[in-house]
Amino acid sequence: MAVKGKSDKSGPVRALGAMSGTSMDGVDLAVIETDGVAVTGFGPTGYRAFDPAERAAIRAALGRWPGEAGVAEAARAVEEAHLAALAGFDGCDGVEVFGFHGQTLAHDPDGGRTHQAGDGARLAAEAGLVTVWDFRSNDVELGGQGAPLAPFYHWALARFVGETRPMAFLNLGGVGNITYVDPRVARPELPGACLAFDTGPANAPIDDLVQARLGMPYDRDGALTRAGRVDAETVAVFLDDVYFRRVPPKSLDRGGFPQLADWIAGMEIADAVATLAACAAGAVSQAMEHLPARPARLLVTGGGRLNPGLMEMLEAALGRPVEPVEAAGLDGDALEAQAFAYLAVRVLRGLPTSAPGTTGVATAVGGGRVSRP
């Protein structure tokens, strides 16, 4: 699996990215071909689920910072899961760089800190891959939110699919985030190319609820979302939070709205899930008011796109069609991993990975650490 680092090449390279998101389901792997600006092709994808012990170690360390109880165990679980995923992946041939996001345990940009568990130097040494990691810290240290980081890749995808009008990507993972992109702008870091921010909680409160009450990892096929009755009063109180009125860029921690759990605690499970889904859809509707213009197209990625009930609520809340990214020929399961492959190439080539419009940092900046085998 050893590779040669060829970051001095000016053309496209083959890059591998990995993502383990706030849903904490497992590790996604994806290969792309890119020069760090344009995407020129897609390669293999893979997935390795966290086993129950790994998931328990990660969940036990949520909200904690380096040195606190359970954090070292969580980091070890993250590293072992990624090494296992890489060992079982057949797409490493020709890969010249690996983008490793790590597992977000805590995120406090207003306090100037963010924590992604996992040591990229260990992965580089044991997997034999030039590894770019710790993507968020530099942005936060320079006053940015450190999130979201996929927007530059969204810009590249808009150009890849041939879109010529401003459009938007909505990622419904554990936390929701939206990127407004104008593919007519020549570079993603330039003013007007990208505006991105977290919309609010998305799948995380639903996943946590069904796991606690039913032992299920998520609302499969949106069955509970569709079966339940929305508590409109709870949704209205939720959407009155000051976060939704804050001008972006802005970002959230996975546990950014802890009061939600208390509000739905007394509801029947289907009603609680439907209410949480309506909160997520309403948050997106509020987010649309911050965009510079109505996007010509809204593509949805992340696990939320697989919940038909949530997608129906989105269309109702927005008064417009929404489409999964697959409608544009893209892979919603691999997109976040692809994004970190893209960012890894940008880091190696000294290109910015965030900008005022994506994280609120004062100027376009790069991030990430590079570890070599």
Assigned token pair, 115: 């924590």
Residues 80 and 219 in one domain: no
Residue 358 included in any domain: no
Strands 131-133 and 369-371: antiparallel
Q: Which residues contact 72 (CB under 8 A, 6 or more apart)?
A: none
Residues 206 and 300 in one domain: yes
Instruction: Say how far apart CA 308 and CA 311 lie, in whole Å.
Output: 5
Handedness of CA 163, 95, 301, 21 (dihedral sign): negative
Residues 297 and 234 in one domain: yes
Determine the average pLDDT of the residues in 37-55.
Answer: 97
Burial class (CB in 10 A: 0-12, 13-18, 19+), 359: buried
Residue 4 included in any domain: no
Neighbour count for residue 199 (Cβ, 10 Å)? 27
Residue 190 included in any domain: yes
Instruction: Say how far apart CA 311 and CA 282 lie, in whole Å.
Output: 12
Residues 175 and 231 in one domain: yes
Q: What is the Cα Rg of the chain in Å? A: 19
Residue 334 included in any domain: no
Kind and range of the H or E element at 227? helix 223-227
pLDDT tens digits for range 110-157: 899 999 999 999 999 999 999 999 999 999 999 999 999 999 999 999
pLDDT tens digits for range 326-372: 999 999 999 999 999 999 999 999 999 999 999 999 999 999 999 99
pLDDT tens digits for range 251-298: 888 888 999 999 999 999 999 999 999 999 999 999 999 999 999 999
Three-state DSSP class for 69?
coil
Cβ atoms of 136 and 113 closer than 8 Å: no
What letter represents residue 211's amino acid?
Answer: Q
Residue 92 included in any domain: yes
Nearest C-alpha neighbor of 109 from the set 253, 222, 289, 282: 253
Q: Which residues contact 157 (CB under 8 A, 6 or more apart)?
A: 39, 169, 330, 335
Residues 168 and 302 in one domain: yes
Residue 81 included in any domain: yes
Nearest C-alpha neighbor of 222 from the set 156, 340, 310: 310
pLDDT at residue 3 above 50? no
Domain that holds residue 247: 162-328
Residues 218 and 267 in one domain: yes
Cα 370 → chain centroid: 21
Residue 6 included in any domain: no
pLDDT at residue 1 above 60? no
Cβ atoms of 301 and 311 closer than 8 Å: no
- Listed in order, strand segments (DSSP E) in the chain are 13-19, 26-34, 39-49, 97-100, 103-108, 113-117, 131-133, 167-172, 175-181, 194-201, 298-301, 323-324, 369-371
Instruction: Say how far apart CA 255 and CA 92 lie, in whole Å.
Output: 35
Residues 221 and 252 in one domain: yes
Instruction: Say how far apart CA 162 and CA 160 lie, in whole Å.
Output: 5
Residues 130 and 168 in one domain: no
The reported pLDDT for the residue numbered 9 is: 64
Residues 85 and 184 in one domain: no
Residue 7 included in any domain: no
**Tally of domains within the chain:** 2
Residues 102 and 235 in one domain: no
pLDDT tens digits for range 205-219: 999 999 999 999 999
The DSSP line for 235-287 is HHHHHTSGGGGSPSS----TTS-THHHHHTTTS-HHHHHHHHHHHHHHHHHHH
Conformation bin of residue 43: beta by default, left when phi > 0, alpha when psi is -120 to 50: beta
CATH code assigned at 268 = 3.30.420.40
The reported pLDDT for the residue numbered 256 is: 86
The reported pLDDT for the residue numbered 252 is: 87
The reported pLDDT for the residue numbered 22 is: 76
DSSP state of 173: S
The reported pLDDT for the residue numbered 359 is: 95
Provide the CB-side half-sphere exposure for 84 (13 A, CA).
14
Three-state DSSP class for 216?
coil
Assigned token pair, 57: 């170690």
Residues 256 and 319 in one domain: yes
The reported pLDDT for the residue numbered 211 is: 93
What letter represents residue 318's amino acid?
Answer: L
pLDDT at residue 2 above 60? no
In the β-sheet with 298-301, what is the strand arrangement from edge to edge?
Answer: 194-201, 175-181, 167-172, 298-301, 323-324
Residues 303 and 255 in one domain: yes
pLDDT tens digits for range 231-244: 999 999 999 999 99
